[in-house]
Amino acid sequence: MAKLRAIDFFCSIGGMTYGFRKAGIDVIAGIDIDSSCKETYESNNSGSKFIPADIKKYSIEQLKTDTKIEQDDDGLIFIGCSPCQYWSIINTVKTKSKKTKNLLSDFQKFVDHFKPGYVVVENVPGILKKAKESGLNKFVEFLESKKMGYVVKKGVLNANHYGVPQNRRRFTLIASRINNSISLPQSKNKKKNIVADFIGEWNGFQKIEAGHIDKTKFKHSAASLSKNNIKRIKLTKKNGGTRERWGKVESLQIDAYKGKDYSFRNVYGRMSWDKPAPTITTRFNSLSNGRFGHPEENRALSLREGATLQTFPKSYDFKEKSMGKVAKHIGNAVPPELAKRIAKSLK
């Protein structure tokens, strides 16, 4: 069998790259429009080249020059985990993400030309729910066409069943033109992966307060909280509490939630030690953007805690200085452990 090598399109800081490398697959390069990912990507994935490029403008000839890959390589894998905010089920303003909603079609041109042995796509479940609008239907038809000849397996996986301590549902597609017996990774976990298995003092996370800045590479830094938010989280029951306890306190109630204490219950909530975390988003270090309160301490998750719940190793060095930028990079990443399981299913 040909030695497996991969190109990681839309690589960000390297979650998918790191997981594939851990599974023994050589990732030649990662491509991403966000050049701020370059230093973090390359410093943690030595030998994998970061190519800063807009996939809409990047040409087939440029990719060939940059990576030295050839057409019809049976051992070549193209990974396409394009930005997915537009197709997310989370109710956000779609204007900013509209430009990236058809990146699957842009990825397709490279598959069409190089015809790699394998193709992997990971995205939000919304891309499947709106398969016609998102271009997924056309992409699958293209792969399965007589011209391309790929066998396609697809479905929605919960990362919690694959070694990740989050309820993180992701659409996953694996395709091959040389192996008819491919399949999505099988879950081997006998128990749920929970928050207490990954963070907490017993896992090397010392107690800190809101606003703590860790100047070491560990980046156990937590965002500051306003005086009212400090009061709110202090009143929030530890280990899974919601804003219910302070919802009736006039000075602490928030206009948007008046009379709606049982709506959007995750917002301002604490995580539970004995349950998986919610999906780690790009704002996981913010108390007001989901159930991102620490199970016990009066703060939101630190940067390193979020990265660990994403299954990045504690040695992964996030080079950006801005807390917001690091959080965005971490939240956008594919959990490396899920990536590793996908890669192993290919092998």
Residue 316 within a domain: no
Report, in angstroms and rounded to the nearest whole number, the Rg of the chain calculated over CA atoms. Answer: 21
**Strand order of the sheet with strand 118-123?**
49-52, 26-32, 5-9, 76-80, 118-123, 169-176, 151-158
Same domain, 48 and 146: yes
Q: What is the pLDDT of residues 5-19, one digit of tens each?
A: 999 999 999 999 999
Judge whether residue 82 has pLDDT over 80. yes
pLDDT at res. 165: 97
The CATH code of the domain that includes 150 is: 3.40.50.150
| Residue for token pair 């109710």 | 91
Cα 25 to its chain centre, rounded Å, is 20
pLDDT at res. 253: 81
Contact 166, 159 (CB under 8 A): yes
Same domain, 95 and 183: yes
Count of domains in the chain? Answer: 2
Residue 326 within a domain: no
Lowest mean pLDDT among 97-106, 286-295, 311-320: 97-106
For the purposes of burial, counting CB atoms within 10 Å of the CB of 27, is it exposed (0-12), middle (13-18) or buried (19 or more)?
A: buried
Same domain, 145 and 33: yes
Judge whether residue 339 has pLDDT over 70. yes
pLDDT at res. 100: 46
What CA–CA distance (Å, rounded) separates 131 from 104?
11
Q: To the nearest whole percent, how much of the chain has pLDDT over 70?
A: 91
pLDDT at res. 192: 85
Residue 302 within a domain: yes
Average the pLDDT over 60-86 and give the result.
90
What residues contact residue 39 under an 8 Å CB cut-off, 6+ apart? 319
Same domain, 263 and 121: no
Contact 286, 292 (CB under 8 A): yes
Same domain, 160 and 284: no
What CA–CA distance (Å, rounded) separates 18 from 120?
15
Q: Which residues are catalytic?
A: 84
Q: What is the pLDDT of residues 248-260, one digit of tens each?
A: 788 888 777 666 6
Residue 33 within a domain: yes
pLDDT at res. 94: 41
What CA–CA distance (Å, rounded) separates 144 from 275?
40
Residue 194 within a domain: no
Residue 317 within a domain: no
Kindly report the backbone phi and psi dihedral angles of residue 336, in degrees, each rounded to the nearest multiple of 5, phi listed first: -55, -35
Q: At what angle do helices 336-346 and 15-22 cross, to 10 degrees?
A: 50
What residues contact residue 250 under an 8 Å CB cut-off, 6+ apart? none
Same domain, 176 and 208: no
Smallest CA-to-CA distance from 223 within 236, 233, 237, 213 is with 213
Higher pLDDT: 97 or 147? It is: 147
Q: In the predicted model, what is the mean pLDDT of the chain?
A: 90
Same domain, 31 and 171: yes
Domain that holds residue 169: 5-188+334-346
What CA–CA distance (Å, rounded) separates 198 from 309?
7
Average the pLDDT over 234-246 and give the result.
90
> pLDDT class for 136, splitting at 50, 70, 90?
confident
Same domain, 251 and 169: no
pLDDT at res. 209: 97
Residue 329 within a domain: no
Same domain, 93 and 156: yes
Average the pLDDT over 106-132 and give the result.
90
The CATH code of the domain that includes 207 is: 3.90.120.10
pLDDT at res. 190: 66
Average the pLDDT over 29-41 and give the result.
97
Average the pLDDT over 174-187 and give the result.
92
Cα 49 to its chain centre, rounded Å, is 20
Lowest mean pLDDT among 47-51, 87-91, 299-303: 87-91
Judge whether residue 76 has pLDDT over 90. yes
Residue 324 within a domain: no
Same domain, 153 and 207: no
Same domain, 28 and 143: yes
What CA–CA distance (Å, rounded) separates 291 from 270?
5
Contact 23, 340 (CB under 8 A): yes
Same domain, 26 and 136: yes
pLDDT at res. 10: 96
Element (H, E) at 38: helix 38-44
pLDDT at res. 259: 65
DSSP 14: S
> pLDDT class for 97, splitting at 50, 70, 90?
very low
Higher pLDDT: 221 or 186? It is: 221
